[in-house]
Amino acid sequence: MKTDDEKEELRSDCPVNFGLESFGDKWSLLIVRDMMFWGKRTYGEFLRSDEGIATNILAARLASLEKEGIISKKPHPADRRKEMYSLTEKGLELIPLLVEIVAWSGKLVEWQSVAGTGSPEQIRQVKRFATTKNKAKIIQEIRDAVAAGSYFFAPR
């Protein structure tokens, strides 16, 4: 019998495994992506993602990410039905990881051949991620945007 506050047992102490057990499922990083790049903050916005997450799975992933300390939630200031989710510092530290995933995909012809649906600006940025010699700059831009309550792909 398990108690509620019992820690989940880790498969191993390897830092790669630690990371994967924190965010390495099919959906968690997509939610994080939506917050970083698209400024999504509420349950309904996450539900409407391109990939079509199921509502029960979304609830489970949000709870898991919150438990891991990657996101936090508080009541929405303008609408008491809503919760506002945001990235913690621990979540913001995933920016370099997301940048690397984008960069990896962006280099591949396999991705380039399916990348038809993005806007020219989005595709330009993906290629920039894939070819830049200064990832720190990109990371800082994303961090600044999110910190300002905005997001990387905010129109300007």
Q: What's the distance, CA 16 to chain centroid? A: 18
Q: Residues 37, 43, 129, 152: which binds DNA (CB under 7 A)?
A: 43
81 lies in the binding site for DNA (CB under 7 A): yes
CA distance 135 to 129: 7
16 lies in the binding site for a copy of itself (CB under 8 A): yes
Site track 24-63 with a copy of itself (rule: CB under 8 A), x = hit: xxx--xx--x---------------xxxx-----------
Q: Choosing among a copy of itself, DNA, none, which partner's interface includes residue 152 (Cβ < 5 to 8 Å by kind)?
A: none
DSSP category for residue 10: P
Distances (CA, A) of 132 to 40, 95, 111, 126, 129: 26, 16, 18, 10, 6
**Pair 71, 88: CB distance under 8 Å:** yes
CA distance 137 to 155: 19
Q: Please give the residue ranges that form the binding site for a copy of itself (CB under 8 A).
A: 10-20, 22, 24-26, 29-30, 33, 49-52, 69, 90, 93-94, 96-98, 100-108, 110-111, 114-118, 126
Q: Please give the residue ranges that form the binding site for DNA (CB under 7 A).
A: 25-27, 42-45, 47, 52-57, 59-60, 62, 73, 76, 79-83
